[in-house]
């Protein structure tokens, strides 16, 4: 199985690996077939959006939640660890709405491709991220 240089780099030097104590939300997904398990920790911040909306008494700035910090723990193959690392880089500092729109193609492209049999690994990270965001939103 051939991995891209980007995949190997993320596997050997994963970004944002670890845990966040007192995380605002945690998402976890696993695949019973391959045995991979991914856990995503989020620290959420609030930023004022530059866009304004009209209120009865004038203009008001809209507040948006964003991913202030993100960490992951992954037990899995080369692709699973690389996907987790790349995913955290793509969404760190971005709004929750942006992060919810990330799909497998975004991550696969960032990694310079994945073998077809490993594409499912990209979905585990995305599903864990979505679970964490939805838990935060439903608090």
Residues in the chain: 139
Query: Among 14, 28, 30, 34, which one carries the catalytic annotation?
Result: 34
pLDDT computed for residue 89 by the predictor: 96
Tens digits of residue pLDDT in 4-23: 999 999 999 999 999 999 99
| C-alpha count within 13 angstroms, C-beta hemisphere, residue 32 | 0
Tens digits of residue pLDDT in 96-124: 999 999 999 999 999 999 998 888 878 89
**What total number of domains does the chain contain?**
1
pTM of the predicted model, to two decimals? 0.87
User: What is the pLDDT of the chain when averaged over all its residues?
Assistant: 90
Name the strand (E) or helix (H) holding 85.
helix 78-91
List all residues 6 or more positions away from 108 whose beta carbon is below 8 Å from its beta carbon. Answer: 114, 119, 122
The residue segments making up the domain with residue 128 are 5-50+58-137
pLDDT computed for residue 121 by the predictor: 79
Q: Active site includes 77? A: no
Query: Among 80, 81, 87, 121, which one carries the catalytic annotation?
Result: 121
At 9, which CATH number? 3.90.1010.10
Tens digits of residue pLDDT in 32-81: 788 889 999 999 999 877 665 555 655 667 789 999 999 999 999 999 99
pLDDT computed for residue 57 by the predictor: 58
- Rounded to whole angstroms, the Cα distance separating 77 from 84 reads 11
């Amino acid at each position: 199985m051939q991995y891209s240089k980007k995949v190997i780099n993320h596997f050997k030097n994963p970004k944002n690996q670890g845990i966040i104590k007192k995380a605002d939300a945690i998402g976890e997904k696993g695949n019973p077939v391959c045995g991979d398990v991914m856990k995503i920790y989020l620290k959420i911040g609030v930023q004022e959006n530059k866009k304004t909306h009209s209120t009865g008494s004038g203009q008001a700035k809209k507040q948006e939640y964003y991913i202030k910090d993100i960490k992951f723990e992954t037990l899995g193959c080369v692709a699973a660890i690389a996907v987790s690392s790349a995913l955290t880089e793509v969404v760190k500092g971005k709004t929750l709405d942006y992060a919810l729109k990330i799909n497998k193609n975004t991550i696969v492209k960032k990694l310079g491709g994945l073998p077809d049999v490993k594409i499912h690994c990209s979905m585990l990270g995305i599903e864990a991220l979505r679970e964490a965001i939805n838990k935060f939103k439903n608090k």
